[in-house]
Amino acid sequence: MKKFFTVLTTVMVTATTFFSTGEVFANSELEEIKKELNQLEQEKGDINSDKASVRSEKNKTEGKIEKNLAKQADTEEQIAALDRKLADTQEKLDAKQAEIKKTEEEIAQLKEEIKELKKRIAKREEVLTDRLKSLQSNGGNVSYLEVLLGAQDFGDFLDRASAVTTIMDQDKNIMDTHIAEKKELEEKKQQVEEKMKQLKAQKKELENLKAQLDSQKKEKNELLKKLEKQHESLHEHKMSLEEEEKVLRDQAAAIEQAMQQAGQKKSQIEKEIARQKELERQARLKKQREKEAAARKERERLEALQAQQESSQPKQTSASTSSSSGSSLSSSGSGIFSWPASGRLSSGYGMRSLGNHLGIDIANGTGTRISAAAAGTVTRSSYSSSYGNVVYIYHPQYNKTTLYAHMSSRAVSLGQSVGAGQYIGAMGNTGQSFGSHLHFEVHNGSWSHKGGINPMPYLK
């Protein structure tokens, strides 16, 4: 902010010395106040320009956020479509698993049926083998007629006829059943082979469905990560712009306060100049009257003396000299800042793994005293999401701003004047901080985002 707080110092000096130095000094101080007011107006214009720039950037970012939200809506629709695909794939997967289970159960059932068929066929083959052996032992032929003719009576004949018919039917049924079950056995074996092929195909399809499901899940996760990354990036940028906007508002408020105080002192000085001029006018008028009265007395004295000594010539000698000299003292500062806190230098200025470090870090225990590096005016004292408890001090004598961040507590407020070495707060670990330390920055003029310069050359 260049020299806008110099006017505060000028105003205080004016207030304590004006009435003893007269109109010349008042005019000089008035010119100085006007000069400082012009500087403040210029700085106010610069800050308004910065505010407009930040506002423009913020509007652009908000536009990007709106576009991102539209993209998010599209992406969310993609995710919804993916979710539908996932649900459909999962449904197919479940159906396929049920189908596989059913096929496996059918195969198991067929195997059980085959097992039972084999048992029945084996038993029947034993019966048929016995029948064949019986046939062979009887000459290879059984005469059903001899059985009928060997009946003792008609009732016995009927019984024998019924038995022969039954035996003949049983032999035929046994063979028919044996042939049918042999055929059924072959058919079931064929069914098992087909079911096994079907099962293999189903399992292959199941693997494909699982791979498809994994691919869809991966695509969904990538979309979600992309959305989260975009949202986080835009949110951080907006937060940064909002913080910079707040800093500029604080600085503008401090300038307005300084201009108001300077305007009040300017009005006081102008009134005092008018009062001094009136006093001088009255003093000149009084002096003129005194001179006229003295001249009258002198004339009267001379006239009286001339009347007494008409022949003598009076001598008049008068001399009046006056001189004045003045001297003024001036002092100037060294232009070098004192260390704001005791401790060890834990991180220097410049690039590091997390990005460009715009200041230095001084590490020490929580509560360690933090002092103003030089005299100046507080242009910000507040809490920031990134800096935590932070204080900005503008030093008009050097046209520089110092920043003190991550404090556990603050002891100064906006617009307050502080002296070199004055206690402004305590070391801490607030905001985006990893351990108790003081983050210290130096800026040319007013604070600006990413405008920090290396503090080391400016420290004692």
> Do 452 and 375 share a structural domain?
yes
Q: For residue 20, is pLDDT > 60? A: no
DSSP secondary-structure letter at 459?
B
> Do 290 and 401 share a structural domain?
no
> Do 295 and 354 share a structural domain?
no
Last residue of one domain, picked from the residues 273, 304, 335: 304
What was the pLDDT predicted at 137? 67
> Do 438 and 385 share a structural domain?
yes
Cα separation of 212 and 219, whole Å? 11
Q: For residue 341, is pLDDT > 90? A: yes
pLDDT in tens, 108-154: 998 999 988 888 888 887 876 776 666 556 654 555 556 656 667 77
Q: Is 52 exposed, middle or buried (0-12, 13-18, 19+ CB in 10 A)?
A: exposed
Last residue of one domain, picked from the residues 255, 276, 304: 304
Examine residue 366 and state whether it is found in any structural domain, yes or no.
Answer: yes
> Do 154 and 239 share a structural domain?
yes
Examine residue 384 and state whether it is found in any structural domain, yes or no.
Answer: yes
Last residue of one domain, picked from the residues 255, 272, 304: 304
Tokens at 411, concatenated: 């002891």
Range of the domain at 263: 1-304
Tell me the one-letter amino acid at 412. Answer: V
Rg (C-alpha) for the chain, rounded Å, is 57
Examine residue 172 and state whether it is found in any structural domain, yes or no.
Answer: yes
How many distinct structural domains can be found in the chain?
Answer: 2
Contact 446, 394 (CB under 8 A): yes
> Do 437 and 291 share a structural domain?
no
Phi/psi region, residue 188 (left: phi>0; alpha: psi -120 to 50; beta: rest), is alpha
> Do 365 and 283 share a structural domain?
no
Examine residue 418 and state whether it is found in any structural domain, yes or no.
Answer: yes
> Do 220 and 104 share a structural domain?
yes
CATH assignment at residue 358: 2.70.70.10
Examine residue 322 and state whether it is found in any structural domain, yes or no.
Answer: no
> Do 354 and 217 share a structural domain?
no
Examine residue 129 and state whether it is found in any structural domain, yes or no.
Answer: yes
> Do 414 and 267 share a structural domain?
no
Examine residue 316 and state whether it is found in any structural domain, yes or no.
Answer: no
What was the pLDDT predicted at 16? 41
The winner for highest mean pLDDT among 119-133, 199-213, 249-263, 405-419 is 405-419
Q: What is the b/e burial string over 85-103, where b = at least 16 CB atoms within 10 angstroms of the residue's CB?
A: bbeebeebbeebeebbeeb
Tell me the torsion sign for CA atoms 189, 192, 196, 198: positive
> Do 172 and 59 share a structural domain?
yes
pLDDT in tens, 43-91: 888 888 888 988 898 788 888 878 877 877 777 787 788 788 889 989 9
The pTM of the whole model exceeds 0.75: no
Examine residue 335 and state whether it is found in any structural domain, yes or no.
Answer: no
Contact 408, 244 (CB under 8 A): no
Pick the range with the lowest mean pLDDT from 74-88, 194-208, 281-295. 74-88
Concatenated DSSP letters of 229-296: HHHHHHHHHHHHHHHHHHHHHHHHHHHHHHHHHHHHHHHHHHHHHHHHHHHHHHHHHHHHHHHHHHHH
End-to-end, the C-alpha distance of the chain in Å comes to: 24
Tokens at 23, concatenated: 């109109």
> Do 261 and 352 share a structural domain?
no
Q: Is 354 exposed, middle or buried (0-12, 13-18, 19+ CB in 10 A)?
A: exposed
